[in-house]
Amino acid sequence: MAPLIEQVDGARVPWLPGSQGKSVDGPVMEASEHRLKELRGVEAGALPGKSLGVYAPASGLVRDVFPCEDGHAQERSLFTAVLSPVQAGDLWMADRNGCPREFLCDIDTRGASCVIRQHRGLPCEIVSPLHPLGRVETGHIAEQRVRVVEAQDGVHVYRRLRLKLNHLTRDGATLLSIVTNVPARSVSGKRVARLSHKRWTLETAFQYLEAYVHSEINT
């Protein structure tokens, strides 16, 4: 579909001019669909596999899918596979499960950018104190710099935005942190926070697919 969209000039305005925006997430089946009916009473019953999808906001297409046959695997363990399509000039956005140290550092090494919600397990060192940036639509925002050392001892410095939310998230959080390597001179902290909020359009894309092709499993 991408060549057709390009031919009719149907691409949307990029989220960040000059960057190829890509959002990655793992669609999850509802709890009632996790097992086939015949296996729900069996402790060893297999779960369906998992997958990560890469969504391109400019085209509105899911450009890559990385499947995993292990239904018990943690989503974070699948992100090693996602490194293969990372290119210079990309802007990668992900939830906190997309914050493994290897994925975060490799994006920076390859000359790509990231806007990723920080996972509490990310090892990082605070470089500068928080300074307030004011308000955005979702809450109060402050910024500081942090240092992340990768397994091969390479050092990467990121901006960390702390967002104090107006409303609780669905998992009850009042604070969330966003890690980015987008330069402050070109993109403000407020704009980074708004970019992170837009990431949810990937989930909407999966809802469209579910409705259009009737993809929900009928047990």
What is the pLDDT, as a whole number, of residue 34? Answer: 56
Judge contact between 104 and 179, C-beta under 8 A.
yes
**Mean pLDDT across the stretch 193-203?**
76
Using CA atoms, how far apart are residues 119 and 98, in angstroms rounded to an integer? 8
Confidence label for 167 from pLDDT (cuts 50, 70 and 90): confident
What is the pLDDT, as a whole number, of residue 219? Answer: 60
Residue showing tokens 């996602």: 82
What is the pLDDT, as a whole number, of residue 75? Answer: 79
CA 129 from chain centre, in angstroms, equals: 26
Predicted TM-score (pTM) of the model is 0.82
Helices (H), 49-114: 79-82, 101-109
> pLDDT tens for residues 12-46?
888 888 888 898 887 655 444 556 777 777 776 66
What is the pLDDT, as a whole number, of residue 29? Answer: 52
Please state which of the ranges 26-40, 102-116, 122-136, 143-157 shows the lowest mean pLDDT.
26-40
DSSP-derived secondary structure letter, 163 = E
Q: Convert 60-97 to b/e letters by CB count within 10 Å (16 or more is b).
A: bebebebebeeeeeebbebbeebeeebeeebbbbbbbb
Does 47 have pLDDT greater than 70?
no
